[in-house]
Amino acid sequence: MKASVIALGWHTIKKATYGYSAGIAVYILFLAWVYPSISTNPAVTRLLSSLPPALLKLAGISSNFSTYTGYLSSEFYSVIDIWIIMWFVTMEAMVLVGTPRQNHSLQWWLSSPISRSTWILGQFLALVLGLAFLTGVTMASEILGAWWFNGGHLYWPGMIWLNVVALLIGLLITGYSMAFLAWVPKVTWPLTITLIFYAMNVIGSMAPHLSVLSNLSLFGVYQPSLIAAGAVPTLATILAFIFGAAILAWLASVVFSRQDLAL
């Protein structure tokens, strides 16, 4: 693998990555800033207890706001973080692979002495790098928020595992996004599949008799309130995500190598 191929991919998405990261940092710091007043406000507690459990579960607000990490798991990780990752990965995968195929600028990169599989694996790794950057900024912002506004109170395992699981989900979305874009240069497929997985998880969470849908969805493993309370995914789950992403990256390289391209 040539480092320059990954570097080119990173150059392509770095501005967007910085933009998403800045948004995440500002949002988390804002949440951290208002946390002390929310955690001591009885009206908020009353409001939460008055809402239907299914609605709270859907919004990811099944943990209370008594801890900083529990509060962030509800207000950030439950919906916003996963949507940011879904959107970031599918859109930037399109920018890396789909757009150069559509506008034919890809032929320039493929005219250099790098194989097609090297090129697409380089783009995959660049996107994983972007994902890791977002995760790093998220963690740093949470730590900074805890230190700055909340006297350094932070439940480290919860914070780390929330981000690790979000990263693993992003890794798998990266894998199938690359595989689909290697086949057809349109964002429709990866976006549709991601939304279907998300919808399956939402339906499974709201209707107990359909909980099988949550188990089938890749988002089923993402239970922010439970993770924030100390429940961590099994090693088998973690390995399954990593192995799955690796298989999909390999599939992307095979599919891409067989495409009818200009070079």
Partner 1 sequence: MLHQLVGYLPGEVALPDNMTGSQFLGWMRRLRASANGGLYAGRLLDRFDLNPEAVIATMSKGTRQKLALVAAFAHDPAVMILDEPTSGLDPVMQQTFIQWIREENLRGKTIFLSTHQFTEVERTCHRVGILKQGSLSLVDSIDHLRRKSRQVFEVSLGESRDLGFLADPDLDVALVNNRTATITVNGPVIHLIQKLSSLPVVSIREITQDLEEVFMEIYQHDEEETE
Judged by CB under 8 A, does residue 50 bind partner 1? no
**3-class DSSP state for residue 64?**
coil
Neighbours of 92 (CB within 10 A): 23
Stretch of residues binding partner 1 (CB under 8 A), selected from 97-105, 164-172, 211-219, 220-228: 97-105
**3-class DSSP state for residue 186?**
coil
Residues making up the chain, counted from first to last = 263
Q: Is 171 exposed, middle or buried (0-12, 13-18, 19+ CB in 10 A)?
A: buried
Considering only residues 4 through 33, tell me which ones interact with partner 1, judged by CB under 8 A.
Answer: 4-5, 7-8, 11-12
Judged by CB under 8 A, does residue 259 bind partner 1? no
Judged by CB under 8 A, does residue 105 bind partner 1? yes
Judged by CB under 8 A, the number of residues near partner 1 is: 20
x/- track of binding to partner 1 for residues 174-203 (CB under 8 A): ------------------------------
Shortest distance, position 57 Cβ to partner 1, whole Å: 42
Q: Could you give the angle at the alpha carbon of 80 between the alpha carbons of 34 and 138, nearest 5°?
A: 70
Shortest distance, position 105 Cβ to partner 1, whole Å: 5
| 88 or 149: CB nearest partner 1 | 88
Find where tokens 């949550």 sit.
214
Judged by CB under 8 A, does residue 112 bind partner 1? yes
Judged by CB under 8 A, does residue 40 bind partner 1? no
Which tokens belong to 230?
């100390």
Q: Is 226 exposed, middle or buried (0-12, 13-18, 19+ CB in 10 A)?
A: middle
| Residues near partner 1, by CB under 8 A | 2, 4-5, 7-8, 11-12, 100, 103-105, 107-109, 111-114, 262-263
